[in-house]
Amino acid sequence: MIRVLPDQLVNQIAAGEVVERPAAVVKELIENSLDAGARRIDVELERGGLGLIRIRDDGGGIEPSQMALAFERHATSKIASLDDLERVGSLGFRGEALPSILSVSRLRLTSCPPGGGHAWTLGGEGGLAERQPVPAAHPPGTSVEVRDLFFNTPARRKFLKAETTEFRHAQTALDRIALSRFDVGFSLRHNQRRVRDLAPADSAPARRARVAAICGEEFVAQAVEVDESRMGMRLHGWVGLPSFARNQADLQFFYVNGRLVRDRLPGFALRRAFADVMHSAHHPAYVLYLELDPAGVDVNVHPQKTEVRFREGARVHDMLFGAVHQLLRGVRPQAAEQHRV
Ligand code: ADP
Ligand code: MG
């Protein structure tokens, strides 16, 4: 017999893709806060995010009449047409995160749109308990509280790692975003302990301090700053000197037009740029931002995977390789001192 699946089940199936672990919830909710124009985002976790994930922002909020709609599948305020999709500037646009997260957790959304009025709240366990929000207390902005992730999907819960591992993934998710939005303040607490406290960084020293807080003082001390424009693209950021050799590829942050990208093409180009100055068993470290004409890159590939499609991959490769190769050749060990950023 063919039947139409109930909404909650559909959302749980989607949740399997969109929220495979607490870190994915953290990423989706922070991105929603950024899309809402937040200047400050506070993240609180308990037990690696399995007990609690709470994200509070000071963004534009949600009108009470729209709150239930935010939990409808494919309901979004961010695009309305194919045209919009082609030049989407927001981080989200699929309208999948909130319904998916709600379907596998006990969730509460509380929001206060700035400009008068008070806050409203709405929640449920696996699905909305009611469609009508009730009055609540909250400063302008939005909080989303997610408890007991996967409480109703024990099979998925079983696949999660130890709480410390899940926490590490969640922290990485926040760090990746914090390195792409220096203009926004972030904090992270885990089990009542403050792990990150990043004020908005609007000067070069403040940005450097944020990189040091996330990547370590040692990285910053052994990195050179790059800012190169060529072939119609701009590459800027920090490249660790070959002396800052890593046994793991754990300090590689690469952004394309502000989005973190983990793609083979830039990874390959950068590895090649290091090839003649670094032992092949070691991994380069970098925090790099590539900016190019948005028409030259397609980011609309997959919601979770961070691959992109470059229209002219060979040019991007040559730009990255050329800029970093030249930079590394110019930095001899004794000259490194002057290049420190
Ligand atoms: P998407 O981000 O793809 O639009 P989501 O399910 O993540 O889908 O969110 C649904 C909608 O809820 C968003 O389009 C937005 O209008 C609203 N929303 C979610 N989080 C926030 C927030 N922190 N502040 C303001 N509005 C929000
Ligand atoms: Mg979203």
In the reported structure, the alpha carbon of residue 32 is separated from the centroid of ligand 1 by a whole-number distance in angstroms of 5
- Rounded to an integer, the average pLDDT of 268-296 is 91
Residues 168 and 312 both lie in one domain: no
- Rounded to an integer, the average pLDDT of 284-296 is 92
- Rounded to an integer, the average pLDDT of 5-30 is 88
Residues 189 and 69 both lie in one domain: yes
- Rounded to an integer, the average pLDDT of 21-47 is 97
Q: Is 93 in the pocket of ligand 1 (CB under 6 A)?
A: yes
Q: Is 252 in the pocket of ligand 1 (CB under 6 A)?
A: no
Residues 26 and 134 both lie in one domain: yes
Residues 181 and 67 both lie in one domain: yes
Q: Is 32 in the pocket of ligand 1 (CB under 6 A)?
A: yes
pLDDT-derived band of residue 301, with 50, 70 and 90 as boundaries? low
Query: CATH number, domain at 329?
Result: 3.30.230.10
Predicted complex ipTM: 0.98
pLDDT for 341: 47
Residues 27 and 125 both lie in one domain: yes
Task: Say whether 335 sits in a helix, a strand or coil.
Answer: helix
Q: In the predicted model, is pLDDT for residue 94 greater than 90?
A: no
The pLDDT mean for the chain works out to: 90
User: Percent of the chain at pLDDT above 90?
Assistant: 66
b/e map 11-43, b = 16+ CB within 10 Å: bbebbeebbebbbbbbbbbbbbbbbbebebbbb
Contact call for residues 178 and 199 (beta carbons, < 8 A): no
For residue 311, the enclosing domain spans 216-339
Q: Is 61 in the pocket of ligand 1 (CB under 6 A)?
A: yes
Q: In the predicted model, is pLDDT for residue 71 greater than 60?
A: yes
Residues 56 and 193 both lie in one domain: yes
Number of domains in the chain: 2
Range in 84-93, 162-171, 222-231, 239-248 with the lowest mean pLDDT = 84-93
- Rounded to an integer, the average pLDDT of 100-120 is 93
Query: CATH number, domain at 111?
Result: 3.30.565.10
- Nearest one of 108, 106, 109 to 151, comparing CA atoms: 106
Q: Which atom of ligand 1 has the smallest separation from the CA of 90?
A: 2
Residues 224 and 194 both lie in one domain: no
In the reported structure, the alpha carbon of residue 25 is separated from the centroid of ligand 2 by a whole-number distance in angstroms of 10
Residue 210 within a domain: no
**CA gap 52, 227 in Å, rounded:** 40
Q: Which atom of ligand 1 has the smallest separation from the CA of 55?
A: 23
Alpha carbon of 162 to those of 18, 49, 54, 131, 158: distances in Å?
20, 11, 20, 35, 10
pLDDT for 10: 85
Residues 175 and 243 both lie in one domain: no
DSSP H or E segment with residue 295? none
Alpha carbon of 16 to those of 9, 11, 153, 174: distances in Å?
11, 9, 10, 21
Q: Which atom of ligand 1 has the smallest separation from the CA of 99?
A: 6
User: Percent of the chain at pLDDT above 70?
Assistant: 95
